Structure 1
Amino acid sequence: MTIALMWEAKAADGLGEELLRWARERRLTPEPARRETFAAPGGRVLVITWWEGADDLDAELPELPSPDSALIARPVHRWRFRQV
């Protein structure tokens, strides 16, 4: 089974590029099978990681942390999905 973790944050005003750079620099150990990073207007950054072989949504998997509160406009949102 594959689990996808989605991490989304909104940058504080004017810090969209800094938040994007911060997210790209974060490494996960072990590395996911796949990782993609997206940016959207308003300084939003989305990172999706795919974890193969995880057997349930509660599996312990490495996740991106929350950045320093000065970098973000609101708390980070996180979602977990399982492949169906």
Structure 2
Amino acid sequence: MTVAAMWEARAADGRAAELAAWVRESALPGLRGAAGLVRTELFSAPGERVLLITWWDGEPTAVADPPAALLGRPVHRWSFTSEHVE
């Protein structure tokens, strides 16, 4: 069973680059070597949003919360189970 875990945050005004750097420098190293981790992908989007998608064989490990000063609102998290791949 493959699970995609999505972690999405809206940065405080003007702090999207700092939030993305925090993900690269703090969150991702905390996930490396976790059992079942297959892949990670980091995205940015308009509106100061940063999205991290991780793929897992089995139950995902939670991504930590960034420092509150970097956030414009609380982090959103979703997990999805793969149903079909072509």
**Alignment-derived partner of residue 73 in structure 1:** 72
Q: TM-score, normalised by structure 1?
A: 0.86
**Alignment-derived partner of residue 49 in structure 2:** 44
More helix by share: 2
Q: How many residues get paired?
A: 78
Q: Which runs of 5+ in 1 are unaligned?
A: none
- Deviation track 1:34-82 (CA, whole Å, cap 9, x = no partner) reads 1000001121000000002x1xxxx3x3221111111100000000000
CA drift of 1:30 comes to: 0.9
After superposition, residues 1-80 of structure 1 pair within 5 angstroms as 1-25=1-25, 26=27, 27=29, 28=31, 29-30=33-34, 32-52=37-57, 54=58, 59=59, 61-80=60-79
Q: Which runs of 5+ in 2 are unaligned?
A: none
Q: Percent identity?
A: 51
Q: Where in structure 1 do 4 or more consecutive aligned residues deviate above 4 Å?
A: none
RMSD between superposed Cα atoms in Å:
1.3
Q: TM-score, normalised by structure 2?
A: 0.84
Q: 1: CA distance between counterparts of 2:24 and 2:62? A: 13
